[in-house]
Amino acid sequence: MLEYAAKILAGARFAIAFTGAGISAESGVPTFRGANGLWKKYRAEELATPEAFQRDPYLVWEFYRWRMKKILRAKPNPAHLSLAEMEELGIIKAVITQNVDDLHRDAGTRNLIELHGNIFRVRCTSCDYRENLKESGRVLEIINSKELPRCPRCGSVLRPDVVWFGEPLPRDALDKAFDLAERADAILVVGTSGVVYPAAYIPYIVKEHGGMVVEVNVERSGITPIADVFLRGRAGEILPKLLRLVRELK
């Protein structure tokens, strides 16, 4: 199966990758769903919504501070690094991610499309103020504070610049992702449950346009029914092997 997957990728003219929380699991970033995917007693669907933020911004900020702390300590794992190297070698043209961590960027991926925003950016709930906390050097200040972060321009509460349920995905990112999916003749899907839309349409678009779908996951997902090859296992173990084989074939 691994050889077949390598053949698909090596033979592709325009391959892309699509990733979810599972690719960062081995870096110590908890996933949303599944056995280790819980935060206290809340589910993503109960915290990652504008309603939850309106009801209890302290609770939602506590969740995001906890995640920011974990992500800050995390380093790209061999799966992120393998994807970056595949791009470097011209095997894949872009990585479309649902993740809000910076691990693909840290691994060296250049053409990165972030569908659900980025946890290290904040934006104002009233005006158009935005801030990249890594660039402004305020990550630790925000993580360590117990207060709600406030907009320096208008004083309203700041929120994480991520996409919550019921909110539209950034137009630019979604357009780019759908365009890439229409052009791709192969997609490598890694570590996503494939149940959150519109992101989960992406492998389906590739398939509908005649492209091949290679999936890496520790368990079956919403994408598995259309996968031409399903590689069951940990991304950090499978992707380096896949990279080695593709390199030999190239």
Nearest distance from residue 159's CB to Zn ion, in Å?
11
Residue 116 binds ligand BJW (CB under 6 A)? yes
120 vs 135: CA distance, rounded Å: 9
Other C-beta atoms lying within 10 Å of the C-beta of residue 7: 15
Nearest distance from residue 109's CB to ligand BJW, in Å?
16
Residue 173 binds ligand BJW (CB under 6 A)? no
Q: Is residue 116 flagged as an active site residue? A: yes
Nearest distance from residue 97's CB to ligand BJW, in Å?
8
129 touches, from ligand BJW, Zn ion, none (C-beta below 5 to 8 Å by class)? Zn ion
Residue 44 binds ligand BJW (CB under 6 A)? yes
Assess contact for 232 and 205: CB atoms under 8 A: no
CA 5 to chain centroid: 22
> Which is closer to ligand BJW, CB of 6 or CB of 44?
44
Q: How far is CA 81 from CA 14, 27, 91, in A?
A: 20, 12, 14
Sign (positive or negative) of CA dihedral 31, 34, 39, 44:
positive
Q: Which of 79, 56, 105 is nearest to 234 (CA)?
A: 79
Residue type, 198: P
> Which is closer to Zn ion, CB of 121 or CB of 234?
121
Among 76, 191, 203, 211, binds ligand BJW (CB under 6 A): 191
Nearest distance from residue 96's CB to ligand BJW, in Å?
11
109 touches, from Zn ion, ligand BJW, none (C-beta below 5 to 8 Å by class)? none
